[in-house]
Amino acid sequence: MVNVLYSLVDVNQRFDQLVLDPLYIRNLDMTSMMMKSYHDRIYSIDNQVLSRICKNILPQIHHQIYELIVEQHSMELVLHTIHYPQLYSLSLIDFQEEVLLKYLRGDTILRKLLIEQITCLQIEINDETTPSPLPEIRSTMFALILSLCKRLIKLNFTSFYHRSTFYALDLSSIDCTSSTLTELEIYVKTFDDCLYLLDERLNCLSTLKIHVEEIVYTPETIDNTICDKIMNVIESAIIEFLCPPLDFCIAFTDLSTPTAPTTPIQHL
């Protein structure tokens, strides 16, 4: 997408009409992946390309952008260049967790978008560049996102790379609530964190996909209204083991009814 815009826009009027047609330009991906190896990928746009797109192209198409994908190094320029009145879906990929937390706390443009417009949000943390990611930081980000996004319906909060060491959220220590969220994908530390998510903090949640680091017995009692239903689902679901590492992906759908999920417990 970026290369097409950079190469064809301003060539002539006919090209502009074709390339910038609102029937085609609705979803804008402002990343450009260069893969050196499986675990060494660069998503940043060349500065010259980024500058030209922000200066000459975004002002022509900003009103027709519904979905936007940006990475850490281009986000500020892309979001601060112009307003996107139709934007409802935002993907923030390849971010270092400390940088993203800083933006969530202090970037007024990003915060305004999250508060007023965004209904679908995807967060992908780059844990390759972080020696020892802290669950506390991600837990804080998760709670902050839920408090900011007043219109949020769908949230994907995951790691950008899959490493042998699993870094996840610890939800037992934070207060996270949402009255709008219906679909969630998230990494959690233990299965108990899944139960914390289902103790009516997210009372509209209908679809939940969790990546669990470990499932261990705990004597702690968690008061929530659908624990029994979840345990029945787990007993009837298919569990596939593949070690090492032990990495479960558990999907629950239609949590408002007592039926089993359409997607069984599975290993990613």
Give residue-wise pLDDT tens across range 42-53: 567 778 878 888
| CB-based burial label for 35 (10 Å; 0-12, 13-18, 19+) | exposed
pTM, to two decimals: 0.75
Residue 104 and residue 145 in contact, taking contact as beta carbons nearer than 8 Å? yes
**268: how many CB neighbours lie within 10 A of its CB?**
9
76-80, 88-92, 129-133, 229-233: least confidently modelled range: 229-233
182 vs 30: CA distance, rounded Å: 27
Q: What is the mean pLDDT of residues 185-201?
A: 76
Phi-psi sector, 204: left (phi>0), alpha (psi -120 to 50), beta: alpha
Residue-wise pLDDT for 20-73, tens only, equals 555 567 888 888 755 444 454 556 777 887 888 888 888 888 999 999 999 999
Residue 79 and residue 111 in contact, taking contact as beta carbons nearer than 8 Å? no
Asked if residue 228 has pLDDT above 90, the reply is no
92 vs 123: CA distance, rounded Å: 5
The pLDDT of residue 194: 74
pLDDT band at 177 (very low <50, low <70, confident <90, very high): confident
The pLDDT of residue 88: 98
8 vs 215: CA distance, rounded Å: 52
66 vs 8: CA distance, rounded Å: 22
Residue 129 and residue 94 in contact, taking contact as beta carbons nearer than 8 Å? no
The pLDDT of residue 208: 83
pLDDT band at 12 (very low <50, low <70, confident <90, very high): very low
pLDDT band at 233 (very low <50, low <70, confident <90, very high): very low
